[in-house]
Amino acid sequence: MTQQPVFTVGNVPVFGDAILSPMAGYSDVPYRALCRAYGSAMHYTEFVPVEALLGKRVHERFRRRLDTQPGEHPMVFQIFGNNAQMLLEAALRIQEWGPDIIDINMGCATRKVSGRGAGVGMMPQPELIAETFKLLTNHLKVPVTGKIRLGWDATQENFLEIGRILEQNGAALIAMHGRTKVQKYGGEANWDAIAQLKQAVSVPVIGNGDVQTPEDIDRMKAHTGCDAVMIGRAAIGNPWIFARQQRQDLTIGEITTAVRLHAREMVNYYGEGPGLRQFRKHLKKYFDNLAHIELDRLLGTESFAEFEEILGGVETAVPEAIPLKNLQAVNV
């Protein structure tokens, strides 16, 4: 029996409704491999500035951001900039590197990006957005999509206008984080606004913001009618959310298995020392609130053999089959 896609982006089928958010510093090749194994249905790269893609030589740091693993589909390459022609030139260049989809970031709220009219700084410039999408959809072979916020601030929530402009200019999908630029990550994400956007456009909509548990995935879908849900912060150290598994139901054995797998992917991809160093931020999240773990020793090592030895020690010290929610009661 052939599996039916949940939705399609242009001609690209997507076979699931929970998707890892693009996150600079996190959604790299190794972590995407892990999230995909647990069910994340589509993947975005970390965002890349167009300026870094237009020179003769693309700096290793940014070239890496557009690395993919063989078979990693659908794969979305995300770029940002403040000039339609430059966005087009960068998109044409990276199209040759094999993405299924190219996405324009119109959501980044950091001052460095939005302050110069890129990221969410594009949202107060509807003409720039229209020009960009018109150019890109006319010249690219792959579908072009956009990731937006509600707008700049509470007085300029123009996501409906921008949504319509994107659709009219050929965007194949809109992902929306339900906050303004000024809110950054404060307050609550506005899911009503995601519902309004979904009503206003006929292209697929991905809802984003504050999905923290497997129940939230279905809650956001029911509340907004969105086609899929994008999960960012709550997926760090918690790839199980894509399998709709509760963190509290996991056993230490399940966590150490994922940690070992992820650390190995990091070491294979970045090399032993750099891989383990970059893994530290993930490691802290995997073992969040678990007093039983020798986290400092794991964080301190630069040798994968030693890392595995310490992890093995964790596995023998803690009863493997007991879910986290019952662990507090066990004397280990």
Ligand X SMILES: Cc1cc2nc3c(=O)[nH]c(=O)nc-3n(C[C@H](O)[C@H](O)[C@H](O)COP(=O)(O)O)c2cc1C
Name the strand (E) or helix (H) holding 318: none
Comparing CB distances to ligand X, the nearer of 74 and 311 is 74
Comparing CB distances to ligand X, the nearer of 104 and 293 is 104
Write the interaction track for ligand X spanning residues 224-243; mark x where CB under 6 A is met and - where it is not. Answer: -------xxxx---------
Contact range with ligand X by CB under 6 A, out of 18-26, 135-143, 157-165, 299-307: 18-26
Instruction: Give me the phi and psi of 288, to 5 degrees please.
Output: -50, 130
Write the interaction track for ligand X spanning residues 191-210; mark x where CB under 6 A is met and - where it is not. Answer: -----------------xxx
Three-state DSSP class for 263? helix
Q: For residues 160 and 158, give the distance between their C-alpha atoms in angstroms, rounded to a whole number.
A: 6
Report which residue's Cβ sits closest to ligand X. Answer: 232
Name the strand (E) or helix (H) holding 178: none
The active-site residue, picked from 14, 94, 108, 314, is: 108
Picking from 201, 256, 189, the residue whose alpha carbon sits closest to that of residue 227 is 201
Comparing CB distances to ligand X, the nearer of 22 and 143 is 22
226 catalytic residue (yes or no):
no
| Residue 252, CA distances (Å) to 215, 291, 317, 327 in order | 22, 12, 10, 9
Q: For residues 249 and 326, give the distance between their C-alpha atoms in angstroms, rounded to a whole number.
A: 9
Q: Does 28 bind ligand X (CB under 6 A)?
A: no
Restricted to residues 47-86, the positions that interact with ligand X (CB under 6 A) are 47, 78
Comparing CB distances to ligand X, the nearer of 75 and 108 is 108
Report helix angle 252-270 to 272-286, nearest 10. Answer: 150
Q: For residues 204 and 13, give the distance between their C-alpha atoms in angstroms, rounded to a whole number.
A: 12
Contact range with ligand X by CB under 6 A, out of 6-14, 21-29, 240-248, 278-286: 21-29
Comparing CB distances to ligand X, the nearer of 191 and 287 is 191
Comparing CB distances to ligand X, the nearer of 121 and 232 is 232
Structural tokens at position 282: 């993930």
Q: Looking at residue 22, what DSSP letter applies?
A: P
Q: Does 214 bind ligand X (CB under 6 A)?
A: no
Instruction: Look up residue 266 and give its amino acid.
Output: M
Total of chain residues touching ligand X, rule CB under 6 A: 22
Write the interaction track for ligand X spanning residues 113-152; mark x where CB under 6 A is met and - where it is not. Answer: ----------------------------------x-----
Q: Does 187 bind ligand X (CB under 6 A)?
A: no
Buried/exposed 291-305: b ≥16 CB within 10 Å, e otherwise = ebbebeebbeeeebe
Structural tokens at position 270: 């970045």
Cβ pair 292, 258 in contact under 8 A: no
Known catalytic residues are: 108
What residue ranges bind ligand X (CB under 6 A)? 21-26, 46-47, 78, 105, 107-108, 147, 177, 208-211, 231-234
